[in-house]
Amino acid sequence: MTSILFFEQLLNGIQFGTMLFLMSAGLTLIFGVMGLINLAHGSFYMIGAFSAALIAGLTGSFWLALLASLSGAAIAGVLIEILIIRRLYRRDHLDQVLATFALILLLSEGVRWCFGAFPLYLDIPENLNGTLPILDDIIYSKYRLFIIFMGLLIATGLYILITKTRLGVRIRAGQNDRQMISALGVDISKLYTIVFALGASLAGLAGAMIGAIQSVEVGMGEPILILAFVVIVIGGIGSIKGALIGSILVGVTDTIGRIFLPELLKIFMEPANATSVGSSIGSMLIYILMALILIIKPSGLFGKT
């Protein structure tokens, strides 16, 4: 009984982790390559979800909606990079934080202005509705399995992109020495735009996939942005591998912690107190994890020292 519950929660944690990975992969790439702290990354998550809801409303197709989330967020990414972000690379981090924070406010209000303050409707496709039996007694949501599958697919894709392609070589070179690769004749500003758009579209895809089971509303990106920052700090800033391991670690810790901590506390506390204390500590758990990892490895699990 408990082992089934534990396994199901483990899957939930992994699913949450793969979603976090889509967010944090872009964030860590953008930081690694351009040295930019992009607080507005959560806004692309929101833009992706709204593009998807718009297209799903018009066409009724979830798959077109997913495509729309990728392209909608990518287009927004390109525009914002060219118009605003490009001017920030040379500035220090405080300026970047201020400017991208302003972007959050502008984009949130812009989306509210276009779509209104009420949540939009976006549902999962009929053939992913329901559950799938895996192993003997464990049944698990098809859609969540699909999310895990997509996350792993994108992780593999990113791995191939970074290690096997010319663009990947340039991205890695950009991480190591910006001046040198521009001196070698690589069009650095085009590379930056591509990386930024890639990061934005991954965030947009995450927004659409999650929006379908949660809610598509203004401000949906900010809570997950904070977690994505925790992930890249744990994984080591700039490292895709770190982002993957960090995401799964955060996802599993958060899910397992918030469910089993109250149960654990019930052994020596009153049930009502145990639930409220347990869930309070449960929500702090990932920050405790981050602190512990930073004590042992100050630059994160896979960060450059």
Residue with tokens 């599993």: 252
Does residue 135 come out as left (phi exceeding 0), alpha (psi in the -120 to 50 range) or beta? left
Residue 57 Cβ, how far from other proteins at the closest point, in Å?
A: 11
Identity of the residue, 163 or 276, whose beta carbon is nearer to other proteins in the bound complex: 276
Structure tokens at 101: 């924070």
CA distance 130 to 28: 34
The per-residue DSSP string of 5-21 comes to: HHHHHHHHHHHHHHHHH
Residue 8, token pair as written in the block: 């199901």
Q: What are phi and psi of 133, to 5 degrees?
A: -75, 125
Contact pick of 75, 79, 82, 112 for other proteins (by CB under 8 A):
112
Judged by CB under 8 A, which of 58, 139, 180, 294 binds other proteins?
139
Q: Which CB atom, from 110 or from 168, has the smaller least distance to other proteins?
A: 110
Residues 193-212 that bind other proteins (CB under 8 A): 210, 212
259 forms part of the interface with other proteins (CB under 8 A): yes
- Between CA 289 and CA 305 the distance in angstroms is 20
Taking CB under 8 A as the rule, does residue 279 contact other proteins? yes
What angle separates helix 188-211 from helix 221-235, to the nearest 10 degrees? 120
* 102 binds other proteins per the rule CB under 8 A: no
Supply φ then ψ for residue 146, to 5 degrees: -60, -40
What residue type is 147 in one-letter code? Answer: I
3-state secondary structure of 134: strand
Which span sits near other proteins by CB under 8 A: 34-42, 127-135, 184-192, 294-302? 127-135
For the chain, what's the residue count?
Answer: 305
* Residue 281 touches other proteins, criterion: CB under 8 A: no
Check binding of 272 to other proteins (CB under 8 A): yes
Is residue 43 a contact partner of residue 108, using CB atoms and an 8 Å limit?
Answer: yes
Is 119 or 168 the residue whose CB approaches other proteins more closely? 119
Q: Is 125 in the site for other proteins (CB under 8 A)?
A: no
Q: Which of 173, 275, 281, 285 binds other proteins (CB under 8 A)?
A: 275
Least distance (Å) between residue 277 CB and other proteins: 10
From the list 242, 222, 244, the residue with the least C-alpha distance to 233 is: 242
Q: Residues binding other proteins: what is the number (CB under 8 A)?
A: 48
For other proteins, the closer CB: 95 or 123: 123
**Least Å from the CB of residue 82 to other proteins:** 27
Amino acid 149 reads F
Select 102 or 213, whichever has its Cβ closest to other proteins: 213
Q: Which residues sit at the interface with other proteins, rule CB under 8 A?
A: 1, 4-5, 8-9, 12, 15-16, 108-109, 112, 117-121, 123-124, 129-131, 139, 141, 143-144, 210, 212-220, 222-223, 255, 258-259, 262, 271-272, 275-276, 279-280, 283
